[in-house]
Structure 1
Amino acid sequence: MSKRRKSKAAAEAEERTVAPSVECSIHTVQTELRLRLSQGRVPPVIHGLEHEKRQLYELLQRTATTGESNSVLVIGPRGSGKSVLLKSVLDDLMTEEDITDNLLQVHLNGLLQTDDKIALKEITRQLHLENSVGDKVFGSFAENLQFLLEALKSGDQSSKPILFILDEFDLFAHHKNQTLLYNLFDIAQSAQAPICVIGITCRLDVIELLEKRVKSRFSHRQIHIFNKLSFTDYVEVFKAYLSLTKDFPNKAYMEDWNQSIQVRQSFIMFMSHLALSEEATVKDILKRQYEFSKDIRALQQLMMYPVCQLSDHHTQLTVSDFVDSMKILNTDTKSSMLHGVSILELCLIVSMKHLTDIYEGEPFNFEMVYSEYSKFAQRRTSMQVFEKAVVLKAFEHLLALELVKTIDGAGSRVQKEYRLMSLLIHPSQITDALQKYPNCPTDIKQWASNALAT
């Protein structure tokens, strides 16, 4: 009996020691993934940008190790991975000891530093040159800028290289006289001090925004990034964002977690007991998201809700979490607006739907809509027939809600009853809205399903 009691007590003690470890791990996993999905940390692997990453890495490495001055523009549409690419390169550079203590970084953003004076103060702060400026009073902005540039130019090849990162670079080109860009490019070209200027922008025509004197000092190095991920790469990005790295404190937990999200037989696996249909459901969600937008930030939004659902009682990512996340992200605002319109306005929308089907997308006017509505109301004795003025008022309300719009080119002199209009709601949205509309009359549902409104 004593041995049984001891073994039972030992088991309970073991459970008490294991439980805190698991609890700690799931919260650590959630924190890690949240930071990664909110762009606070770089994912373990970046797919599709290997060539661009190597090109940018070699450029920055030459500046950090040999003092070579450079300037480059990283150009690509929003969501293509420009910022993540740069963060990944910097993380790799900072793993080298001779670069970590040698490279200074200055991060500027065109949305925050709206003019050169503000940018100059930010450069002074990030380079810790406040003591050099001290209480000196400068007579003009140019004098202040000149003093700071002299402090930067005073270095030789033994000086620490400085990396200037200009996010939203095109906004800096709108600053007066482009003084900041001119001086930074001038220093980089003349090698007065070892600096590298990196501009990040989504404007393909950003070079055309630069003045001639700025262009002449720019190296014209450009790294173009395009979102060219295949669906297989898209799935790999999905795995990379949700996988744990080898430096995770609990190795056994890390291996089990990564195994739960591996690809097996071309389907996404979350838990070993999932049925094939559930696996296909997750793959279908990713396929729909991929076809809708290849923007990685949209994928991050899709993954954020399931990650936030993790808790002590919900320790794994499940298919239902991703289904719910997809529903939240794809909430149809126009269908939701239709739930709040009146029965009369709903009838007018169905009338416009029929006119669009009958005339194959051609524009219509209020008189046509009213005629269609009148035919239906007269056939249904249960429907209240409103006067034309009341119907016109309801039609104008739909126009104010931007569910209907006037055709460009329709003159303002045309009477409002005869202005050409187009419907901004897809027929499928109308059908879905009718199904969810509270206490929607059956006659209207049947009328909407009849394309010819017979």
Structure 2
Amino acid sequence: MVKNNHQEDANSLRNHVKVSEITSHDRRSNLTPTKRTIATPSKFNSQIALSPSLLESRIASPRKHKLGISSPKKTPAKKRIAPSAAKPSLVDPDFNPLEETQRILRLRISQVNKPPVISGYEKERKQLYDLMKRTATTGESNSLLLIGPRGCGKSMLIQRVVEDLHSDVAVKENVQLVQLTGLLQTDDKLALREITRQLKLENTVGDRVFRSFAETLQFLIEALKKGDQASKPIVFILDEFDLFAQHKNQTLLYNLFDVSQSAQTPICVIGVTCRLDVVELLEKRVKSRFSHRQLYLFNKLTLSQYRDLCRSYLTLCSDFPDQDFADTWNKNIQCLLGEVSVKDILERQFSLTNDVRGLITLLTYPICQVNAAHPRVTAADVVTSFKLISTDTKSAMLHGVSTLELCLIIAMKHLTDIYDGEPFNFEMVYSEYQKFAQRRSGMQVYEKPVVMKAYEHLQTLELIKSHAGGGGAQVQKEYKLMSLLVHPSQILDAIQKYPGCPTEIKQWASQSIC
């Protein structure tokens, strides 16, 4: 009987505790755990022995829900932290995609020799790569001239072949590269100093005195055979090769070609030039040691490839940190290149010059305009850029001359038409100007010294120049023969755009041109 009473009392206590917990949880009580109480009737104290640890956990520790969640007071804080911990951000919060886009695009247009897409020249690229690789791997000495017009991609091709060689670890560790340019190394002494620096042989040369350039060069080559650099091949790339041919006695070229023809340190000499007659500039002794291997390059870009190259300069790569921004940017570029005005400008630029540098010049202004206030490249930017690079400087200069100077230019053009391009002097121009001023009663007639000052100012602006055989210093300046450097179409264009140009002058200009 007592046992049954004890079980009933225990069940009653257990149910009372559960009800207390659920009620407290539903109300979201703000009481601290220590203020929460458990109903334990005094009549049960002498009959039920509660575990001290259980009682302490009920009073001191925060209660937990059935699913294991802590007390209601701490639940909201964990719910706020959980989402950020579950999905960590892959993008730096301080990352600015627009600034990164600016950096990437400006870096592209600054690296002229490394366009994003290389098209054509696959055959020439393989031929040049095989030549340099044979020098690096088998020790075969060679010499070659890379010839082509400016802007056709000679330096770009050399740069890509060098990158291909460096991508091969075995070749990279077995070859040394020396790059010289005739624009900087204007004589053989400067060239030798640069060779010493690039081969890192300053300590080897030291303060030694050599009797000749050939002895110095031979000493440097022999130094390469010692120590860790034994028999290491060297690739010499001579940019602006025709300028090296103008050095006294062509000593540098003679020694380099002589080493390439002998059984000494294996070297490969590659000359880059835009002159088709460069071989004729070589002396007989230099020409006899040259292998006469020549590689000609001509710009093979088509209009479609030209547009693709423009797209590759403006689009972002797939590894851009913010891919959503990159996708939006690339879609805008795709729409930009599809606009009629942009297509027309690319066609006109391609017809003028299809080299890569001309395209970079066209894209420089639109790329530099990208900022927070102007976050994308627009067709108006491309149109403005084309107008800037295609501006006629002579016509633009005529926009800033005075009305008197403009009248003198028209008088010169009129004289050139009358005398079929023959030179003129100041007296002839002044006489023609007076005839026009007398026919127009409303025109102001300037005195001869004032007109002479305007005439001299045009000569300072290089709109006219002294004619060859005009008499020199012995002839008075009023009778010195001059030639006009402005085309008739430029004069007409300047007059049409001249601010506030009188109607009489416009009519006179039209009569003189017709």
By the TM > 0.5 criterion, same fold?
A: yes
Name the residue aligned to 2:55: none
Q: 1:299 aligns with which of 339, 353, 359?
A: 359
- The aligned runs of 1:205-244 (5 Å cut-off) are 205-244=277-316
Once the two structures are superposed, residues 217-267 of structure 1 have per-residue CA deviations (whole angstroms, 9 ceiling, x without a partner) of 2211111122343333332332333344455555555555445444xxxxx
SS in 2 for 1:29: helix
Whole-Å Cα distance in 2 between the matches of residues 244 and 189 of structure 1?
A: 48
Code of the residue aligned with 2:336 in structure 1: it is F
Name the residue aligned to 1:330: 390
Name the residue aligned to 2:135: 63
Name the residue aligned to 1:266: none
The answer to whether the Cα contact below 8 Å between 2:395 and 2:490 also exists between their aligned partners in 1 is yes
SS in 2 for 1:94: helix
Structure 2 residues not aligned, in runs of 5+: 1-75
Is 1:424 equivalent to 2:485 in the alignment? yes
Name the residue aligned to 2:336: 270
Code of the residue aligned with 1:433 in structure 2: it is A
Name the residue aligned to 1:440: 501
Instruction: Note closer, same or farther for the CA distance 1:250–1:134 as it changes in structure 2 (3 Å cut).
Output: farther
The answer to whether the Cα contact below 8 Å between 1:156 and 1:192 also exists between their aligned partners in 2 is no
Once the two structures are superposed, residues 18-49 of structure 1 have per-residue CA deviations (whole angstroms, 9 ceiling, x without a partner) of 795772x3333332332332226612322232
Code of the residue aligned with 1:323 in structure 2: it is V
Once the two structures are superposed, residues 121-162 of structure 1 have per-residue CA deviations (whole angstroms, 9 ceiling, x without a partner) of 222221222333345444554543332122246699973322
Instruction: Note closer, same or farther for the CA distance 1:400–1:137 as it changes in structure 2 (3 Å cut).
Output: closer
Whole-Å Cα distance in 1 between the matches of residues 211 and 414 of structure 2?
A: 72
Name the residue aligned to 1:173: 245
Code of the residue aligned with 2:404 in structure 1: it is L
The answer to whether the Cα contact below 8 Å between 1:155 and 1:192 also exists between their aligned partners in 2 is no
Q: Structure 1 vs Structure 2: percent identity of aligned residues?
A: 63
* Offset, 1:74: 0.9
Whole-Å Cα distance in 1 between the matches of residues 167 and 453 of structure 2?
A: 68
Whole-Å Cα distance in 2 between the matches of residues 78 and 432 of structure 1?
A: 31
The answer to whether the Cα contact below 8 Å between 1:243 and 1:258 also exists between their aligned partners in 2 is yes
Whole-Å Cα distance in 2 between the matches of residues 294 and 440 of structure 1?
A: 38
Code of the residue aligned with 1:347 in structure 2: it is C
Once the two structures are superposed, residues 283-309 of structure 1 have per-residue CA deviations (whole angstroms, 9 ceiling, x without a partner) of 222222223233322221111111112
Once the two structures are superposed, residues 158-185 of structure 1 have per-residue CA deviations (whole angstroms, 9 ceiling, x without a partner) of 7332211111222222223322222222
* Offset, 1:358: 6.2
Structure 1 residues not aligned, in runs of 5+: 263-268
The answer to whether the Cα contact below 8 Å between 1:63 and 1:195 also exists between their aligned partners in 2 is yes
- The aligned runs of 1:4-15 (5 Å cut-off) are none
Q: 2:434 aligns with which of 343, 366, 374?
A: 374
* Offset, 1:443: 3.0
Question: RMSD of aligned C-alpha atoms?
Answer: 3.6
The answer to whether the Cα contact below 8 Å between 2:466 and 2:481 also exists between their aligned partners in 1 is yes
Is 1:163 equivalent to 2:235 in the alignment? yes
Could you tell me the TM-score, scaled by structure 1's length? 0.81
SS in 1 for 2:238: strand
The answer to whether the Cα contact below 8 Å between 2:112 and 2:357 also exists between their aligned partners in 1 is no
Moved more, 81-90 or 160-169: 160-169
SS in 2 for 1:33: helix
Code of the residue aligned with 1:343 in structure 2: it is T
Could you tell me the TM-score, scaled by structure 2's length? 0.73
* Offset, 1:333: 2.5
Whole-Å Cα distance in 2 between the matches of residues 366 and 142 of structure 1?
A: 59
Whole-Å Cα distance in 1 between the matches of residues 477 and 206 of structure 2?
A: 68
Question: Which structure ranks higher in relative contact order (CA pairs < 8 Å, sequence separation ≥ 6)?
Answer: 1
* Offset, 1:355: 4.5
Whole-Å Cα distance in 1 between the matches of residues 90 and 444 of structure 2?
A: 72
Q: Count how many residue pairs are aligned between Structure 1 and Structure 2.
A: 432
Is 1:37 equivalent to 2:98 in the alignment? no
Name the residue aligned to 2:402: 342
Once the two structures are superposed, residues 311-357 of structure 1 have per-residue CA deviations (whole angstroms, 9 ceiling, x without a partner) of 23433221111122222223332233323333222112223344555
